[in-house]
């Protein structure tokens, strides 16, 4: 039994890079695509947002003009989506990449209607290019697109296995939440998802499940509503 009919899976760029931290870890990506394919075969409509952190992050680009740095970040998310969409092709699952701005003939322009139709026809839709605006993140892009195409949940696959009350890398006593309200996450400044994304989730009552991309079957479990990671509810 599936809990959700349509989900948005957010993959952080860093998680796609595996242990290498930059670029692509093909093995990790092939496994992830296998899980996305399984979701589609289980009758779930799937869309995906991928970050850009394995190539570039606007907010850590030093003295560079922020708008320009963020433009590079948005382009990095498109490179990631084109790569993972091509892995979908080689694994036998159809997909399409949509962006909020024209990228010539490399992507389709985002349209809610066409995204819904693609998903209904069993294709995975990659929403690349974030929101199309600087000063935002792919978390916010994911929340925005999740609201627009009316998914049941956002599944955030990260390189950490949930939301903790403090950084587990710095504090061995850090406690992981199984469930946490979005309001509490904001009040405690836990930053599991950024504030702009959280505001949209609260407004639209959209739950977010944060879990570790490294857990085999993690995406399937999260989509099935089985216990995994941390559920951020509203
Ligand atoms: N970005 C942006 N606007 C958006 C989404 C992303 O400007 O709507 C840029 C920003 O520079 C960001 C980069 O793209 O640092 C990569 O996205 P993000 O850091 O969210 O990727 P992740 O951390 O999930 O890999």
159 touches 14 (CB < 8 A): yes
For ligand 1, whether the C-beta of 66 sits within 6 Å is no
Question: Quick one: 41 exposed, middle or buried, by C-beta within 10 A (0-12, 13-18, 19+)?
Answer: exposed
Residues 211-228: b if buried by 16+ CB within 10 A, e if exposed: bebbeeebbbbbbbbeeb
129 lines ligand 1 (CB under 6 A): no
230 lines ligand 1 (CB under 6 A): no
- Residue 140 Cα: closest atom of ligand 1: 8
- CA–CA separation, 157 vs 201, rounded Å? 17
Domain annotation for the chain: domains and CATH numbers? 6-233 (3.40.1160.10)
Contact call for residues 139 and 150 (beta carbons, < 8 A)? no
Q: Is the CB of 211 under 6 A from ligand 1?
A: no
ipTM of model over 0.90:
yes
| 99 in contact with ligand 1, CB cutoff 6 A | no
Residue 80 beta carbon below 6 angstroms from any ligand 1 atom: no
* DSSP state, residue 60: G
Predicted confidence pLDDT, tens digits, the chain (234 residues): 678 999 999 999 988 898 888 999 999 999 999 999 999 999 999 999 999 999 998 787 789 999 999 999 999 999 999 999 999 999 999 999 999 999 999 999 999 999 999 999 999 999 999 999 999 999 999 999 999 999 999 999 998 999 999 999 999 999 999 999 999 999 999 989 999 999 999 999 999 999 999 999 999 999 999 999 999 999
Between the CA of 130 and the centroid of ligand 1 the distance, in Å, is 7
CA distance 36 to 210: 16
Q: What is the pLDDT of residue 1?
A: 60
CA–centroid distance, residue 75 to ligand 1 (Å):
9
pTM of the model: 0.96
Q: How many residues does the chain have?
A: 234
Nearest atom, ligand 1, residue 141 CA? 8
Which of 138, 192, 196 best tests ligand 1's pocket when mutated (most atoms within 8 Å of CB)?
138
Q: How far apart are CA 196 and CA 93, in angstroms?
A: 32
**134, two tokens:** 């600087």
């Amino acid at each position: 039994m599936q809990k959700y009919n349509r989900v948005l899976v957010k993959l952080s760029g860093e998680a796609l890079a595996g242990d290498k931290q930059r670029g692509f870890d093909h093995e990790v990506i092939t496994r992830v695509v296998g899980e996305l394919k399984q979701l589609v075969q289980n009758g779930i409509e799937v869309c995906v947002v991928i970050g850009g952190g394995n190539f570039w992050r606007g907010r850590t680009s030093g003295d560079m003009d922020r708008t320009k740095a963020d433009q590079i970040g948005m382009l990095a998310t498109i490179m990631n989506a084109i790569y993972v969409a091509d892995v979908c092709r080689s694994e036998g699952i159809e997909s399409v990449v949509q962006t909020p701005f024209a990228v010539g003939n490399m992507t389709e322009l985002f349209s809610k209607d066409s995204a819904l139709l693609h998903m209904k026809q069993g294709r995975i839709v990659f929403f690349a290019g974030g929101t199309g605006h600087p000063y935002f993140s792919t978390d916010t892009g994911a929340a925005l697109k999740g609201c627009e195409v009316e998914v049941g949940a956002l599944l955030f696959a990260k390189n950490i296995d949930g939301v903790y009350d403090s950084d587990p890398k710095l504090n061995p006593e850090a406690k992981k939440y199984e469930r946490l309200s979005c309001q509490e996450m904001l009040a405690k400044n836990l930053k599991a998802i950024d504030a702009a994304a959280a505001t949209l989730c609260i407004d639209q009552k959209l739950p977010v499940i944060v879990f570790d991309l490294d857990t085999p079957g993690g995406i399937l479990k999260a989509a099935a509503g089985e216990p995994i990671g941390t559920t951020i509810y509203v």
